[in-house]
Amino acid sequence: MNSKDFPKVELHLHLEGAAPPTFIRGLAREKHIDISGIFAEDGSYAFRDFWHFLKVYDAATSVLQTPEDYHRLTLAVLEESAASGVIYSETFLSPDFCGGRDLGAWREYLAAIREAAAEAERKDGIVLRAIVTAVRHIGPEASRETAFCAAETMGDFLTGFGLAGDEKLHKPKDFAYAFDMAREAGLRLTAHAGEWGGPDSVRDALADLRVERIGHGVRAIEDLALVDELAEKGIVLEVCPGSNIALGLYPTWRKHPIAELDRRGVKVTISTDDPPFFHTTMTREHDRLADAFDWDEGQFRAIHRTAARAAFCDEATRDRILKRLEP
Ligand code: HPA
Ligand code: ZN
């Protein structure tokens, strides 16, 4: 099996988190911003743990200051994804980073990202859709402005709303107002949970935010009644195994719960989260999973069909993607 070659659908990717370090260093140089402290000697991003990662992420993002920067970033990221065989991708965007939650500025950033996505689709055939995320550590107040930006600009490109950031800060219900606003506008919903929070964080996201997908969600495995509930309700998990292992949530690929969740009937999908930060790519995720669990191409193709069915896109796009997933 050559993991690079078969088509893939990625549902969980932070756009800034997918920025190659060379790209960020180049922008820093152009703008005379010193962020040398966030890089290791070999040029990769350096951080100690998840909370330090969030700080390094914010520092890297600080060099992205204009819609044109995001245009360039989107092209660089989609080129990498397409090289791993990704044919459809959803990326998290934050009006917090793109214009400081000002609606007029946000429209310009979104237009630039969308234009780059169209360019990448013409060049490599990769399709992009966007999910606006509120950032937990920026807080519930800001999340209302974020949801307002999302609601005002939703459409066939911006299709989802989510919640990222420090899972230990605030409760899902503190963001319920923002999620209600997003749902009423017609956006589809997902939230990070069950990564740094335990099974209760997943229950809370489902009950208080009424999401249809969970970002990570892997720690549901610590509560088998919850696992059964996820399977019964058809909740889709955006699992990012390499991210979990890089951040020390699980010691090895074999110890990662994705295979057991799958065996128990939970809809799992495979994503990279923040690939250069975690030294991964979609190709590498598939190679490591194949090694750890003896998964073959048939298993992966089934997972990507699940992902396509759970994608936050219109039905014509979904049909097109499902066709391209056929062997
Ligand atoms: N997890 C949570 N929040 C984030 C991440 C992540 O991987 N990347 C950017 N914000
Ligand atoms: Zn994430």
Ligand at minimal distance from the CA of 13 is 2
* Cβ-based neighbour number of residue 21 at 10 Å: 18
The predicted-structure confidence for 127-163, as pLDDT tens digits, reads as follows 999 999 999 999 999 999 999 999 999 999 999 999 9
| CA 169–ligand 1 middle distance (angstroms) | 13
pLDDT of residue 5 exceeding 90, the answer is no
Pocket of ligand 1 (CB under 6 A): 14, 17, 57, 164-165, 192, 273-274
The predicted-structure confidence for 198-210, as pLDDT tens digits, reads as follows 999 999 999 999 9
- Mean pLDDT along residues 31-45: 97
Phi, psi of 4 (to 5 degrees): -70, -30
- Mean pLDDT along residues 57-70: 98
Domains annotated for the chain, with CATH where assigned, are: 8-19+67-324 (3.20.20.140), 21-63 (no CATH)
DSSP-derived pairing of the beta strands 158-164 and 188-193 = parallel
Kindly list the distances between the CA atom of residue 34 and the CA atoms of 12, 42, 52, 59, 112, in Å, as whole numbers in the listed order: 29, 17, 18, 10, 26
The predicted-structure confidence for 220-277, as pLDDT tens digits, reads as follows 999 999 999 999 999 999 999 999 999 999 999 999 999 999 999 999 999 999 999 9
pLDDT of residue 1 exceeding 80, the answer is no
pLDDT of residue 307 exceeding 80, the answer is yes
pLDDT at res. 327? 87
pLDDT at res. 170? 96
Buried b (16+ CB within 10 A) or exposed e, 156-170: ebbbbbbbbbebeeb
| CA 14–ligand 1 middle distance (angstroms) | 7
* Separation between Cα atoms, residue 217 and residue 273, nearest integer Å: 13
Angle at 84 between CA 81 and CA 85, to 5 degrees: 95
Our mutation pick for probing the ligand 1 site, out of 10, 12, 13, 14, counting the most ligand atoms within 8 A of Cβ, is 14
Q: Catalytic positions, please?
A: 195
Which residues lie below 8 Å from residue 69, measured CB to CB, with a gap of 6+?
27, 63
* Separation between Cα atoms, residue 165 and residue 136, nearest integer Å: 5
Q: Residue 233 half-sphere exposure, CB side, CA atoms within 13 Å?
A: 17
pLDDT at res. 63? 98
Return the ligand 1 atom nearest residue 164 CA: 3
- Asked if residue 220 lies in contact with residue 194, where contact means CB atoms within 8 angstroms, the answer is yes
Return the ligand 1 atom nearest residue 273 CA: 7
Average pLDDT, the chain: 97
pLDDT of residue 297 exceeding 90, the answer is yes
Ligand at minimal distance from the CA of 138 is 1
| CA 112–ligand 2 middle distance (angstroms) | 23
| CA 176–ligand 1 middle distance (angstroms) | 19
Query: What's 64-111 look like in SS3?
Result: CCCHHHHHHHHHHHHHHHHHCCEEEEEEEECCCCCCCCCHHHHHHHHH
